[in-house]
Amino acid sequence: MPTSYQPAPLKQIAPHGGVLVNRVLEGAAREDAIKKAAKLAKVTVNEWEMSDIEIIGVGALSPLTGFMTPDEFDSVVDEMKLPNGLPWTLPVTVSVAEAQAGSIKEGDEVGLYSPDGQFLAIQKVVAKYKHNKAKEALKVYGTDELNHPGVAALYKKGEYLLGGPIEVVNLPPHNDFLPYRLTPAQTREEFKKRNWRRIVAFQTRNPIHRAHEYMTKVAMEITDGLLLHPLMGVTKDDDVSAELRMETYEAIVGAYYPKDRVIIAVNPSSMRYAGPREAVFHAILRKNYGCTHFIVGRDHAGVGNYYGSFDAHYIFDYFDPAEIGITPLFFDYTFFCKKSGGMASVKTSAGTKEDHITLSGTKVREMLRAGEMPPPEFTRPEVAKILIRGMKTTDEAANI
């Protein structure tokens, strides 16, 4: 019997489906594609689809190599699985208007372009099919109300979908957050350099307040490091701007986290606000980035009152954990508990509701606009100061 044990050789979590996809062309293949594109029909994608081109290209949506065919679309929408049985909860599609669809035939290749005319990718059109928006709305979002931002975005898409693989020639251009724009291959390499075996990911589209800090730090107790992975694609108009959010992340990590145990990286995908289905989608995406654990809080990826507070927890029960392949960490309502004298959740607090310091989003925005600091038990003062400054700038700009 050995008297001591050494760490086993580092073995990273496998990407979803087993292989990390790379659809970004380089060298001669890229030059050939650029020449070919001059002869192809042009399809202009929207911002949502443009971000999907990026995350397909870099492998964040492995095993997808392109946009979904009818069989894939129906299987995902109806069964929450790809046709091969692999868990997948959200359709990933590119659309064209009915006026253009008639000139595109199955078997064609088309060029995909950004709204401002940037050539992004070539798609092999394996299938062209009518977009069943009503079915997608009801099954994926649970509603057909246009007040739901995901449904509203869905109904703005074209009437026909093009299914088939893509080859990315130019990733969507970015001139912001460049040090944080890490691909799945790059985050995996960084985890390897740090010898991290267990990595927890935190999805956010908001500034981090004390409840978020509590959840991430609890998760860090059982893992080697945290991937703070804010979503920087398309969000609702009233969400805090990406620039302001990133400033708050830098401030809070710099002041309140051990810097060698946190990596901040941008998630370039867009927000669907699909609630429980998007929670699984977000987990799979972080698995591809190399994470082994994923934080799922209350009403993850929700909006308004469209989903139950813990539907995003319950949906994971519909899948074999081995097929999902990443461990979800479920958190209940969290807050500062005056009786306990620290952060807690309804599972650990010894106090009553009167002991819980919680604020509605509306109340927080009112305080920030008035230049009033929310209580430190709710948010760190460094974060509040950044948001107060940002609110003032935004309100002044709106009045110009």
Three-class SS state of 263:
strand
Supply the DSSP symbol for 140: I
Positions annotated as catalytic residues are 205-206
Spatial distance between the Cα atoms of 17 and 77, rounded to a whole number of angstroms: 19
SS (H, E, C) 345-377: ECCCCCCCHHHEECCCHHHHHHHHHCCCCCCCC
Strands, E assignment, the chain: 41-44, 66-67, 95-96, 109-113, 119-124, 127-130, 160-168, 199-204, 225-230, 262-264, 293-296, 327-330, 334-337, 342-345, 356-357
Q: Residue 229: which of 193, 275, 283 has the closest Cα?
A: 283
The burial of 87, by beta-carbon neighbours within 10 Å (0-12 exposed, 13-18 middle, 19 or more buried), is given as buried
Other beta carbons within 10 Å of 212: 20
Q: What is the Cα–Cα distance from 127 to 70, expressed in whole angstroms?
A: 7
Tokens describing residue 101: 């669809």
The Cα-based distances of 31 to 28, 37, 50, 168 in angstroms read 5, 10, 21, 12
Task: Report the distance separating Cα 246 and Cα 266, nearest Å.
Answer: 9
